[in-house]
Each structure stands twice: as structure tokens, then as C-alpha cells.
Copies of this chain bind each other. A is one copy, B any other.
Amino acid sequence: MTAIHDLTRALQRNNTSKIVLFVADGLGGLPMAPGGKSELETAETPNLDALARRGSLGLSIPVLPGITPGSGPGHLGLFGYDPLEYQIGRGVLEALGIDFELGPDDVAIRGNFCTVDDDGRITDRRAGRIASDIGTRLCQKLDRIEIPEVEVFVRPVKEYRLVIVFRASGLGGNVNDTDPQKTGVTPHEPLGSDEDSQKTAEICKQFLSRAAEILRNEVPANLLTMRGIAKQPDIPTYREVYGLKAAAIAVYPMYRGLARLVGMDVLDAGATLDDQMNRLQAVWDDYDFFFVHFKYTDSTGEDGDFDAKVARIQDVDAVMPHITALNPDVLIVTGDHSTPSKMCSHSWHPVPVLLTADTCRYDNCESFGEAHCHRGGLGQFDAKYLMLLALAHAGRLEKFGA
């Protein structure tokens, strides 16, 4: 969204306001049966309901109607970056997911340990789903591979999954997967589709050749394949496009990585919501914008556990007084997408949004839930516009034109 950020760059106004974006991952839901209530509507949420009464509600569309986002596009949208414009390769997302601090020149690759026969044909694409400690040991061996003029990082993810990062200037990110997605064949050769990516492909070949020697006698993980070879998108920072000094208080690595991608300071906190709230309070004077991420509304939805998701929403409700005690100028509570327990997965359904600020237009909504959000004052809008609303309510945008 060049247009959005052209506007925010041109209209930035600095002040001392504070904005809190609380993301309850996968917040939106569905009733289990026609006419029933969603998870959010079922939960007892007195604090959120009080906020709803003095704020504005709405529904956000993460990407386009009907399009279900992954966590990457879901969060980029909330952060004000058009998820169709800024696409994050799988290798990059995997690196973010293990808290690897990617640099702008890095090429990140998702690796899978696999098993090949004597002719080099893949017999198991996941090497029998080896235990994580075996994967870790193999990664430590591969991490020692040296390639001239390239820094090589090899890190375990889980079981047969690993991340490989090549750090060198002038590398491209447009290289095909070597994983052929089936057994009985040899892995594909890595090929770059432009000059810079051909350099990357050459490095991949050298790495794979050295890896084959190192893994030759391992059973069953005697080779690896590569997928999602990518550089991080060239994404402008919060500081530059919004003039905001932003902090992320997130527990899960992927969300920490996504925040880092847009230039937020990623702060450490304990694993509980209370820990996150303590951290928020401790750094309150140091930042303009706070992204707080809570994972368990999504994971309970993915488990299809309606009651557990309801309970996690109530956990979110319970910490709201910690935030309102800090008296933020703008407080937004929303999700990056819906994760209906009924579907056990992310979905495309528009996402509940609650925004409170002194400049809200009151919409007579009584509680925070999908039905109220549907008739809320913010209407139904593209998630990428949420940051414009946040900045506006924080008094951080000048008038456009005279």
C-alpha cells in the first residue's frame, strides 16, 4: 500500500500519545450451530464490554473477502501493510518463527531432513519424522559448513524441520524449491530466476553437496531438501511510515519476528499475560506504540475447543484493567484473523475490532462480539486501514490538503 504510507509519511504529527494494539490471535469465531453464539459472544467479558460501550466496534477484512490469511499476512494487515503487496516467503517466516534475527541481505530457507536411497532418490520426505534432539544434533554439524564469502547459519526448528540462512551481499531470493514433493525421485536442482538468485542457487548447491557428505552415514536423515527460499520483503519501518517508536510484547517467536520486520523493538517478557502486562507497564514511558500478542485464542480455536477458546478470551478480558490503568489514548483489541472452533482452522470471516479513544463516535454497542461489531460504528473495513484509524484517534495525522 504505497498510497497508505505516502499519506502517513506526509501527514505525520508527533505528540505524546500512546497507542496499544492488543491482538488476541484468531479472535473471530462462529457459533457451533445456527442461531447460537460465537466464542467471543459466549465469553463473560465485563471489561471488554465496558470498553465497547465507550468505544467503537467494527469488523476487519484481513486480505479480501473469502481469503483466509496465515499469521504473516494477518499481522501485516493489522500493522498497516497491504498483505497482497508485502508477501513473506516461507523460509523467512520459518526463520522468524525460531527468533532468528534476519538481516536485509539474508536468504532464509526452510529445510527438511529426508531419506534417500543409494541412487539419490527420496524414500522419505521427512526422514521418519526424526526426534527433535536428533534434528538439533544434525543441524549443529551442518552449521559448521563453510562457504567462501558467505555466512552460513543452520538452526533446528522441530523434528525434521530446520532453517538455513545464507548471509552475503547481492544474493537473490528467487530460487525454486529442491523438495520435489514426492518420493521415488531425486531432489530438484536449485535454479535462480535472475542473476542475483543464480548466485544463491550456486551457494545452495555447494551447501547441499557438503551436507550430503556430512549426512551420508546418518540413518534415516541422510540428506535435506530446501523450500521457500526467500529474502524478507523490503518493508518500511513503523518509525519511518508512522513516526512511531514501537514495542512488541509477544511470546511466540513468529509474532516477535513479524514485529521486528516492521521495525518494532521486541521486548522480552515472561510467558503469561500478567508478565506481558508487567512489561507493558515497565516500558510505558519509553514507547509510543505497543503491540501485545496473545496466542491462545488461536490455538484453542485450531484445536476445535470452543470452551477453551471462551476461557482464553476471558483471560484477555481479565487483563484489560492493567491496560486501561495506563490510560492509553487509543486502545485497540482485535485479532489477526478468525479461527472458529467449529472449523478447527483459520478462516476468512471478518474479525471483531474494538477501538476506544476520546474521539470515538459512539455506536450504542453493548458488548464485544461479532453481532455487535457487525453493526458497530467502524463498519466493515480492510484491516490495512486500522493503523490509519489508530493514528487519527491518537491525533497523529495532519489534515490532508487545505
- B residues near A3, Cβ cutoff 8 Å: 64, 84
Q: Give A346 to B387 CA distance when docked, in angstroms.
A: 19
Q: Is there an interface contact between A399 and B361, defined as CB atoms closer than 8 Å?
A: no
Contacts of A353-401 to chain B: CB distance below 8 A: 359-364, 370-371, 374-375, 377-381, 385, 387-393, 397-401
**Residue of B with least CB distance to A97:** B402
Q: Shortest Cβ distance from A122 into chain B, in angstroms?
A: 23
Please tell me the size bucket of the interface on A.
Answer: 35 or more
Interface SS majority for chain A: loop
A57 shortest CB reach to chain B, Å: 11
The residue on B at minimum CB distance from A73 is B401
On chain B, the residues within 8 Å of A88 by CB distance are 401-402
- B7 touching A402, Cβ below 8 Å: no
* Given A93-B402, A379-B380, A402-B90, also A68-B363 (CB < 8 A): no
Q: Which of A371, A388, A399 gathers most chain B CB within 10 Å?
A: A399
Instruction: Assess whether B34 is in contact with A385, with CB atoms less than 8 Å apart.
Output: no
* Assembly stoichiometry (copies): 2
Task: Quote the shortest CB–CB distance from A110 to chain B (angstroms).
Answer: 10
Nearest B residue (CB) for A349: B361
The contact string, 1 if C-beta is below 8 Å from chain B, for chain A 62-76, is: 011111111111000
Cα of A345 to Cα of B11 in the assembled complex, Å? 16
CB distance from A331 to the nearest CB of B (A): 15
Q: A376: nearest residue on chain B (CB-CB)?
A: B374
Q: What are some 13 contacts across the A-B interface (CB < 8 A)? A: A35-B362, A59-B379, A65-B388, A66-B387, A68-B398, A69-B400, A70-B399, A70-B400, A70-B402, A71-B402, A73-B401, A345-B399, A374-B377
